[in-house]
Structure 1
């Protein structure tokens, strides 16, 4: 991925899984559309690289600007807020190359290594957040098999090795979730606690 763009194309959309249960108040899809519209007028080139191309991918179109995307979406009977919830696909390649955040890049390697088999074809890791990565039950569950230095001289025994850092990492739900088809594509998560449904 050297020389490729960071995952800004997909990061903007990976957290929007539902029409109304992902936006921190007072934000909603209408505010998002308004910001995109204003930004599209002020910085059309920037808007094109940030979200217009991604919205075109969701519609299966090319080269439409934001107003045309909204019109095309309405023609298809799809509201703009519904368009925003269409999951990012790992195989989408943008004009500046394949887009992946750091966590998506790591999970792409897991996927290539076969960790998501037999459901690999139904997993798009660009929909994952950092939490989604560490809750996967891909890691050593038997603490006795961790290296002896891992929790040495620590009053709290973590279920993982924290190699470096001044503060202890807290990873709620670490190593607890079995991957499932279309994982993280329809998960509500509202602030301030970002509590998710049981199967997300």
Structure 2
């Protein structure tokens, strides 16, 4: 299914949610969905420039060197790739912003943020920390913090540069140290009378700057833009969007809640009228909990996520 989109109906700030089911990204997203309870595995955001041209800003775009980076692409180029070249078989939904939020959306601030991040690497540094919020409430069996430490240790031996990128620098930031190796980090944690599980659960901070710049995963990039564009209002300073999973993101009450205002082409040809617009994919996308949660201070910093129900206490 591919929707015949009228691009004029897409606005700055509209959220793109993707579920890729084949290949490397399909495998990675399946793991991500399992540990977080999300029903999607990748995100991007739409932006219009001062001349009205539509663009897509995305953390996780593969460049010509095969590196995953943050990029701002013309809509036509992005859409053409997803339709004809993306071998991960993406299912794609457009989640239009609520009109009240759209009216608040500061387009120039969003563009300034997007341009400041363009070309930076995808946010591997803090990727796993949006998932791990608690000492033992985020690990599906047989995972636990000890097994995570073991996997990290082996991975560090096999691919030290990759391992350092994925967690060493982030763990050092949590300890307030610099350049400690993983084994030194584990020793330091023990010295302080803490545990590796407690260290992993320390919330990421949006203002942390890593060796290669600010680090944002696909969803953190979009929601950091939302912060810069004013959508979180006075709560912005008390919310760390690098702690958001994709499930947290689409659950936020930021999106259109009146189906009569959705574009006429939205879900065209589908017998089920979704509360958002699925624009590509053989399989119908579901987003349980979609558009139900008001933002609040320190949200998503202490949330368990255990399958199969992924129950989440209020205010975590």
- Asked if these proteins are the same fold (TM beyond 0.5), I'd say yes
Closer, same or farther: CA 162–19 of 1 in aligned 2, 3 Å = same
1:8 aligned to 110, 118, 124, which one? 124
Residue 218 of structure 2 corresponds to residue 102 of structure 1: yes
Residue 306 of structure 2 corresponds to residue 185 of structure 1: no
Partner of 1:127: 243
CA distance, structure 1, for counterparts of residue 169 and residue 300 of structure 2? 22
How far apart are residue 166 of structure 1 and its match? Answer: 2.7
Could you say what secondary structure the match of 2:277 adopts? Answer: coil
CA distance, structure 2, for counterparts of residue 44 and residue 157 of structure 1? 48
Is the Cα–Cα contact under 8 Å of residues 121 and 212 in structure 2 kept in the other structure?
yes
CA distance, structure 2, for counterparts of residue 45 and residue 172 of structure 1? 37
Closer, same or farther: CA 158–65 of 1 in aligned 2, 3 Å = same
Partner of 1:145: 261
CA distance, structure 2, for counterparts of residue 32 and residue 61 of structure 1? 21
Deviation string for 1:6-64 (max 9, x for gaps)? 12111122101111111111111111112222333444333222211110011111111
Deviation string for 1:110-144 (max 9, x for gaps)? 11111112111111111111111111111121222
CA distance, structure 2, for counterparts of residue 19 and residue 130 of structure 1? 21
2:274 aligned to 145, 150, 158, which one? 158
Count of residues in Structure 1 that have an aligned counterpart in Structure 2: 200
Could you say what secondary structure the match of 1:163 adopts? Answer: strand
Residue 220 of structure 2 corresponds to residue 90 of structure 1: no
How far apart are residue 105 of structure 1 and its match? Answer: 1.0
How far apart are residue 154 of structure 1 and its match? Answer: 3.1
Partner of 1:113: 229
How far apart are residue 195 of structure 1 and its match? Answer: 3.0
How far apart are residue 87 of structure 1 and its match? Answer: 1.0
Name the structure with the higher strand share. Answer: 2
Partner of 2:146: 30
Structure 1: stretches of 5+ with no match in the other structure: none
CA distance, structure 2, for counterparts of residue 166 and residue 36 of structure 1? 36
- Root-mean-square deviation (Å): 1.8
Could you say what secondary structure the match of 2:136 adopts? Answer: coil
Structure 2: stretches of 5+ with no match in the other structure: 1-116
Residue 21 of structure 2 corresponds to residue 21 of structure 1: no
How far apart are residue 162 of structure 1 and its match? Answer: 2.0
Could you say what secondary structure the match of 1:162 adopts? Answer: strand
Q: TM-score, normalised by structure 1?
A: 0.91
CA distance, structure 2, for counterparts of residue 103 and residue 55 of structure 1? 21
CA distance, structure 2, for counterparts of residue 26 and residue 153 of structure 1? 42
CA distance, structure 2, for counterparts of residue 167 and residue 136 of structure 1? 24
Q: TM-score, normalised by structure 2?
A: 0.59
